[in-house]
Structure 1
Amino acid sequence: MAILGRLLLCFALWHILQVCRVSKFTNVECFNIDESFTNFTLCRLYAVKRDVVEMSLRVNIFRWPKRPVSMRLQLLKKASGYKPFLYNVCQSDVCEYLEKRNHPFVNIILNSFANRTNVVRCPLPREIILEHFRFPVKVLDLMPLPSGDYALFSTFSFEGKERALVKVYFSITEYR
């Protein structure tokens, strides 16, 4: 009986001390840097519930280049403005990455919305869609981030010029 009592006490203490996390998107911005390359037809957040926000994006690619398109993912944290935080990853060829899946940080980000998008492998479709994507709370188990405001900037470029930019802002709040 004493062992059972200790187990129940340990379980109760673990449950009380467990940290809960609330994570949600706070803003999204999409930029057509080169309007002859892309056009964002949808770029917005939808408040589903008080703590649940969904993101939807639609972008049309007018002319897919013959040369590789590179992608840069930057994770930033807000501290007197947004400052670089942990990751600044540049993939020189998006199609090569989609074939090999060889970067852990990029894998975590792209796998989190794999079932909400039509981007699977190359050739990429003319219209790229991401619909009703909620903040992937399970990502925080793989990549634990402290409380705060963050941004994830995705820049797409080819021939040495930036062509499109997506800025996603989110917050993480811990409470007991």
Structure 2
Amino acid sequence: MSHAGGVLFLLIVVSYEIASKVEFTNIVCTSLDKEFSDFEYCYLKSVNRTYKYVSAKCNLYQTPVKKVKVNFSLYKRFNGYRPFMYNITVDACRFLKNPKSNPVTLFFFSSFASFSNLNHSCPFSGALFVEKLSTEFINHQATKVLPFPEGDYMIEFNWIAYDINRAVVKLYLTLS
């Protein structure tokens, strides 16, 4: 390839904008131990055709919670949802003390951290929430930082306290 051809190729690659868009399609929150915690609310709200957000609030009843793990799995729809790329369990207390220790977890966590009160390490008490998480930041993460192929996805979060699975949150989205 000539120098001029290489420069043209580089300009095309650099100027190429990924036109992908993330859209939430559903959220389902399930408490597996209502004496330990329960969801006060968990919903997807459509403000208009282009702006949707999710909000969820989980009240903790046996506080302070000092030992938490989170398992998050990414699924892609192929005749039902199938595991896709990630299935990670992380000690949430340790991760929140040093988020840079786990880059993959940090990638997913940073998608919603600024919309939640999960901004400190253990112990946790009261309620945990994510408020008005829109697709704006997730669009940047899923299309520019680490591009994903188009399709329907589900991210499943299992919240494990004291080695018992206490809650499951399933967030469904489409990348087009």
TM over 0.5: yes
Distance 1:15 1:47, change over 3 A: farther
What's the CA shift for 1:52?
Answer: 2.2
Match of 2:149 in 1: 146
C-alpha change, 1:159 and 1:16, in structure 2 (3 Å) is closer
1:65 deviates by 6.3
Percent identical pairs in the alignment equals 28
> Which residue of 1 is the match for residue 139 of structure 2?
137
Code of the aligned partner of 1:156:
W
1:165 — aligned with what? Answer: 168
Aligned: 1:80 with 2:79: yes
Map residues 8-19 of structure 1 onto 2, 5 A cutoff: 18-19=17-18
Distance 1:19 1:71, change over 3 A: closer
Whether contact under 8 Å (2:64, 2:124) holds in the other structure is no
Q: Which amino acid in 1 is paired with 2:134?
A: R
Counterpart-to-counterpart distance in 2, 1:41 and 1:64: 17
Give the RMSD, CA atoms, in angstroms: 2.4
Contact conserved, 2:63 with 2:125, CA < 8 A, in 1?
no
TM-score of the two chains, using structure 2 as the length reference: 0.84
Aligned residue identity for 2:19? C
Structure 1: segments with no counterpart, 5+ residues: 1-8
Structure number with bigger Rg: 1
Matched length: 165
Q: Which residue of 2 aligns with 1:94?
A: 92
Q: Structure 2: state its 5+ residue gaps.
A: 1-7
Superposed CA offset, 1:72-118 (max 9, x none): 00000000110000100001x21111001121221112112222111
2:107 and 2:128 mapped to 1: Cα distance?
19
Off by >6 Å, runs of 4+ in structure 1? 12-17
The Cα shift of 1:125 comes to 3.6
The CA distance in 2 between the partners of 1:13 and 1:160, in whole Å, is 51
Q: Which residue is equivalent to 1:21?
A: 20
SS of alignment partner, residue 49 of structure 1: coil
The separation in 2 between residues aligned to 1:70 and 1:15, in whole angstroms, is: 40
Q: Following the alignment from structure 2 to structure 1, what is the Cα–Cα distance between the partners of residues 157 and 77?
A: 17
Higher mean Cα deviation, 103-112 or 64-73? Answer: 64-73
Alpha-carbon offset, residue 157 of structure 1: 1.5
1:157 counterpart letter in structure 2 = I
Task: Identify if the C-alpha distance between structure 1 residues 18 and 72 changes in structure 2 by more than 3 Å, giving closer, same or farther.
Answer: same
d(CA) in 2 for partners of 1:73 and 1:111?
14
Q: Distance between the aligned counterparts of 2:59 and 2:168, measured in 1?
A: 13
Partners of 1:115 and 1:18 lie apart in 2 by 26
> Normalization by structure 1: what TM-score?
0.84
Partners of 1:22 and 1:51 within 8 A in 2: no
